[in-house]
Structure 1
Amino acid sequence: MTESRALSRAADGRPAAPVRSVHLGLGNFVRAHQCWYTEHATDAAQWGIAAFSGTTSGPPADLTDQDSIYTLLTRATDSDVPEVVSSISASFGADDLDAWREFFARPELAFASTTVTEAGYCRNADGGLDLDDSRVASDLAALRTDGADAQVRTAPLKLLLGLMARRAAGLGGIAVLPCDNLPENGAVARRVVLDAARALDPALADWIVQNVSFVSTMVDRITPRSTTADRSHLLATTGIDDPALVVTEPYAEWVISGTFPVGRPSWEDSGARFVDDIVPWEHRKLWLLNGSHSLMAYAASILGSQTVADAIADPRVLGWVEQWWDEACRHLPLPADELAAYRAALLSRFANPNIRHLLAQIAADGTQKLPVRIVPIVRAELDAGRDAGGGLRVVAAWIAHLRGLGAPLQDNGAEQIRTLAAGDRDAAVARVLAHLGIDGGARKAVSAELERFESSAVTT
């Protein structure tokens, strides 16, 4: 039996840096991405993170029991590299709003970052804050009743609560740094926070406009859920038993556009890129990486694949991915050689057998993902007079997913769309296309693809 020990900051990490930022959404991705970039900045000792769970109440024991440090295991095709990441200085549960407010009231706090998923921004169909969402309405009611002492649950209202605390402390400048897979995510965060502020107090909204910058980011690092087998592997190879273990791939990319009025870590030392126009980089990632992920999550899971590596090894799926990429690349204003290199890198990443990226995990929340990953290319291709076959195949696979095929349905926004997708095949396709804003002339092609998926589905 392998002898084991737990991690401790004194034995394995760096001293906790002073907290200069807060982060909402303490999942594996931020630990593999932003925390890693901060860890490798030359001024890491000056930039500690106070990290808060997005939804889990109570402190995250896996981190707090080992002084908020953890192992990041980078798994390449032929090697594993473990390292201890110490950039989180303190970790808290989602309900510890006293600590959340207290950090915002510190003058040295420079930015608040988020990884709360696309659904976490609580947007309506127009992209603004969904004031009819019961969670948003409850949070606004609590703020009207209890003011700065309110208990709120949604990410936009938590950001607003923090900004209220900063304003009450007589402080100004701060940045908000969303790190979720949304086009122009800084503008997304700005809109929902300002919508919340205007619903509560127009003067607060004016203060936010004058004092808060909303930075846009493009983030990329495949980070699957860690498994018991991963933890056992770490124990066997290092003697460390780490319940907070995060597994990731060697590739990482971070593109950032915006200003930081109170400063930031020197992330460029870790490889981050700062640009004036982030849109081409966002679209490259959303359409080529995330779009093909959605394709595999729905289409390949119907064929019986469980992981990305399984899926890309299927020649049918590989052909579908390449067709989708051909369509998407026609709408990316980037050099052809750069796009070719990016596609080749994606194929290598997808085929990595040591990254067990579950299609069921990727398939979640398709109602939020399809409109930004797939639909823009479908519309552009149809408008150009082309058949958009690669993109329409993804739509057909998603409809099959809504009808019970492939990966399990996990989507808080699926109730309405699932009803639209039910019943007669042609009628269901027509309803879903109308919902997505795709020309009804595509109905015949999508219905034919849906029929093929339904006839080739693997059942378990």
Structure 2
Amino acid sequence: MRLSPRTLAETRNAARPAYDRARVTPGIVHLGLGNFHRAHQAVYVDDCLGATPDWGIRGVSLRRPDMRDALAPQSGLYTLAIRDGEGTRARIIGAVLDVLVATEAGGGVLAALCDPAIRIVSLTVTEKGYCRDGAGDLAVEHPAVAADLATPESPGSVPGLLVEALRRRRAAGVAPFTVLSCDNLPDNGATLARIVAQFARQRDAGLADWIAAEVAFPGSMVDRIVPATGDGDLAEIAALTGVEDAWPVVTEPFCQWVIEDRFPAGRPDLASAGVEFVDDVALYEKMKLRMLNGAHSTLAYLGHLRHHETVADVMQDAELAALVAEVMREAAGTLPLPAADLAGYAKRLQARFRNPALHHRTAQIAMDGSQKLPQRLLAPIAEAQAAGRPWAAMGRGVAGWIAYLLARDGTVEDPLAGQLRAAAAAGPETILSLRAVFGDLADARWFTDAILAEVARLRD
């Protein structure tokens, strides 16, 4: 049987939605509907729908129709499988009502964004979805941005979609939605606000001023390890639940969401579902980016070079496990938080990385390195150097990325793939000269000499 509202009652060994799904109406549009959102934000929303059924989610796939094609016959239902060393626990999530595809003509994305019932637009579009240049500002020469500025009423980029939808709502006298970034970016709310404002100003200064005055962009920090779904996962979950799910999602027990509480248009009671609302998420965000994500990138590149397929495999390699712990210690030294709290956080992270039931592939983490390294490793390295603190372990992560590029001849999934391919062909010095990645560090001999020496050691 295929998972659907009709077969929902036939599922076994799986918790089902504890609310009447027929009463659920949309209040959120989510851009970038993928595994992470379905294992994280959608689960929190699902926990709120019994009390407030007007907060259902309309998902948007920005590029491909795969997710829509998988979930449409299931009316948006999917299985969340939580795995640890004790086994797998399944739950059916009903928060996603439908999926739209932004690249399809007449796909209805702008209509959905302009619906007065939509009060939050959330995003998990990865770093590259923000269309930023090396300085972190809007890349006006980005092909998608340039196309949207030329034909602004049929946008395809994230900034273009948001600005056109807000323009239409303003023209119709409809209150703006809150824009909630859930991506791993420093100051993600402020970063998105800046990108949107810069795009809007390219179109209409008055619109840009209205967005700055009326639209809230709260910051957030999200944390849950969510690997890609494999064929083995589909078979295991079907055997467990007794129904076929075209695209279940697998994750770990741990889940965290910290949000700056600025929602002028309202929000679900996410606090009752475990969300932490704070005045400033910057420290939480920086702690995760540097300790979790920085260690993740390090183990991905070095683990790949040692032919380790998953994070758990890397953590069975004593030398790399010790390196991961040292990266976390060095990163913690750049954070103004109590040492005991950071040491406890590091221990919890390492235990999560060792979860043998979570097949988080190093190849998945290795994608888009040019967008990830600046905040995960390069910023803490620069701060550690300035403070006279050690950074050699974090430097090994950077060297691991360069060695990874050289080993793959630059053939990687990355927004800068063309530049990386050409730089890798010329050698590690040329990679280090890429200011779009390294910024001022490209000119710092204390940094480049140490990284080149480590790259040579790794390649030996």
Alignment TM-score, normalising by the size of structure 1 = 0.92
Q: Distance in 1 between matches of 2:140 and 2:450?
A: 37
Q: Deviations over 1:14-48 (max 9, x none)?
A: 41411111111110110000100101125352311
- Pick from 242, 248, 253 the counterpart of residue 250 of structure 1: 253
Letter in 2 for 1:117: T
Structure 2 equivalent of residue 442 of structure 1: 447
Range with bigger deviation, 69-78 or 334-343: 334-343
Assess, with a 3 A threshold, how the Cα gap between structure 1 residues 141 and 430 changes in structure 2: closer, same or farther: closer
Q: Deviations over 1:298-343 (max 9, x none)?
A: 1111111111001111111111111111111111122223212211
| Runs of 4+ residues over 4 Å off in structure 1 | 405-408
Structure 2 equivalent of residue 458 of structure 1: none
Deviation at 1:441, TM superposition (A): 1.7
- Pick from 84, 109, 116 the counterpart of residue 107 of structure 1: 116
Structure 2 equivalent of residue 404 of structure 1: 407
Structure 2 equivalent of residue 232 of structure 1: 235
Assess, with a 3 A threshold, how the Cα gap between structure 1 residues 260 and 86 changes in structure 2: closer, same or farther: same
Structure 1 equivalent of residue 129 of structure 2: 120
Structure 1 equivalent of residue 367 of structure 2: 364
- Pick from 48, 65, 74 the counterpart of residue 82 of structure 2: 74
Q: Distance in 2 between matches of 1:217 and 1:424?
A: 38
- Pick from 255, 276, 279 the counterpart of residue 279 of structure 2: 276
Structure 2 equivalent of residue 7 of structure 1: 4
**Contact 1:255–1:273 (8 Å) recurs in 2:** yes
Q: Distance in 2 between matches of 1:154 and 1:429?
A: 28
Assess, with a 3 A threshold, how the Cα gap between structure 1 residues 406 and 415 changes in structure 2: closer, same or farther: closer
Deviation at 1:74, TM superposition (A): 0.8
Range with bigger deviation, 340-349 or 58-67: 58-67
- Secondary structure at the counterpart of residue 169 of structure 2: helix
**Contact 2:27–2:55 (8 Å) recurs in 1:** yes
Give matches, 1:39-438, under 5 Å: 39-41=46-48, 43-57=51-65, 60-95=68-103, 99-143=108-152, 150-405=153-408, 409-425=412-428, 427-428=429-430, 431=433, 435-438=438-441
Q: Distance in 2 between matches of 1:197 and 1:299?
A: 41
- Secondary structure at the counterpart of residue 120 of structure 1: helix
Assess, with a 3 A threshold, how the Cα gap between structure 1 residues 101 and 92 changes in structure 2: closer, same or farther: same
Q: Distance in 2 between matches of 1:435 and 1:15?
A: 49
Structure 2 equivalent of residue 26 of structure 1: 33
Is the aligned partner of 1:451 residue 2:456?
yes
Unaligned runs of 5+ in 2: 10-16
Deviation at 1:57, TM superposition (A): 4.4
Deviation at 1:228, TM superposition (A): 0.9
Range with bigger deviation, 339-348 or 272-281: 339-348
Q: Deviations over 1:400-455 (max 9, x none)?
A: 12212599621121322443444355x44652589442221233322221112112
Q: Distance in 1 between matches of 2:446 and 2:431?
A: 11
Deviation at 1:98, TM superposition (A): 5.7
Letter in 1 for 2:63: T
**Contact 1:363–1:407 (8 Å) recurs in 2:** no
Query: How many residues get paired?
Result: 445
Unaligned runs of 5+ in 1: 144-149, 456-460
Q: Distance in 2 between matches of 1:153 and 1:210?
A: 25
Structure 1 equivalent of residue 42 of structure 2: 35
Assess, with a 3 A threshold, how the Cα gap between structure 1 residues 352 and 59 changes in structure 2: closer, same or farther: closer
Q: Distance in 1 between matches of 2:409 and 2:91?
A: 36
**Contact 1:231–1:245 (8 Å) recurs in 2:** yes
Deviation at 1:156, TM superposition (A): 1.1
Deviation at 1:127, TM superposition (A): 1.2
Assess, with a 3 A threshold, how the Cα gap between structure 1 residues 409 and 239 changes in structure 2: closer, same or farther: same
Q: Distance in 1 between matches of 2:181 and 2:304?
A: 30
**Contact 2:378–2:438 (8 Å) recurs in 1:** no
Q: Distance in 1 between matches of 2:412 and 2:458?
A: 16
Letter in 2 for 1:37: Y
**Contact 1:21–1:47 (8 Å) recurs in 2:** yes
- Secondary structure at the counterpart of residue 28 of structure 2: strand
Percentage identity across paired residues of the two chains: 37
Q: Distance in 2 between matches of 1:19 and 1:239?
A: 29
Q: Deviations over 1:365-415 (max 9, x none)?
A: 111000010011110121123442011111111111221259962112132
Deviation at 1:10, TM superposition (A): 7.2
Q: Distance in 2 between matches of 1:131 and 1:204?
A: 18
- Secondary structure at the counterpart of residue 221 of structure 2: strand
Q: Distance in 1 between matches of 2:139 and 2:239?
A: 48
Q: Distance in 2 between matches of 1:208 and 1:429?
A: 39
- Secondary structure at the counterpart of residue 60 of structure 1: helix
